[in-house]
Amino acid sequence: MFFATTAQPQVRRQAYANAGRTLERFMDDALRASTRQTCAYTQDETAFNLTLDVPGIAKDQLAIAIEGTVVRINSKEGAARRYNVAYELPQDIDTAQSTAKLENGVLTLKLAKKVPVSTATELVVH
């Protein structure tokens, strides 16, 4: 039996208009999730210690930038793998006393804490 409807034809919703890119987005999200890095973090009175696994990256392919309390670790152009992470630490970092070491795919950062300098001035009472 055939039923005729007088309803308006359904229009595709915008969410499904680009259905061809849905699989591509799913694969991108899956690949990003598998490459997320975990970081082992410890600290003592003088330094923060960060340890990251970065297999397949040579030391000349890494760029480590420190600005105040933020540490950014990026792979350079032409590296076999792509890394782009940033960590914000609770205290400013002394870049002159900090070190970075890469051995067997493990990056170890020893980031020295900057000693806070008091800027208070004392007034003489007359």
Reported as a single tens digit per residue, the pLDDT across 10-29 is: 554 555 555 566 667 777 76
> CA 87 to CA 90: how far, in whole Å?
10
Q: What pLDDT score was predicted for residue 20? A: 60
Q: What is the pLDDT of residue 126?
A: 87
Tokens of 11: 């229009």
- Hey, where are the domains in the chain? 38-113
Q: Quick check: 47 and 108 in contact, CB under 8 A?
A: no
Question: What's the confidence (pLDDT) of residue 2?
Answer: 53
Residues 6+ apart with CB under 8 A from 55: 81, 105
Tell me, yes or no, if the pTM score tops 0.85: no
pLDDT number for residue 81: 86
pLDDT value of position 25: 73
Q: Is the CB of residue 55 less than 8 Å from the CB of residue 105?
A: yes
Question: What stretches in the chain show pLDDT beneath 50?
Answer: 1, 12
In this predicted structure, what is the pLDDT of residue 69? Answer: 92
Closest by alpha carbon to 110, among 123, 94, 124? Answer: 94
CATH of 38-113, picked from 3.30.1050.10, 2.60.40.790, 2.40.10.220, 3.40.50.2020, is: 2.60.40.790
| Tokens of residue 92, six digits | 């400013």
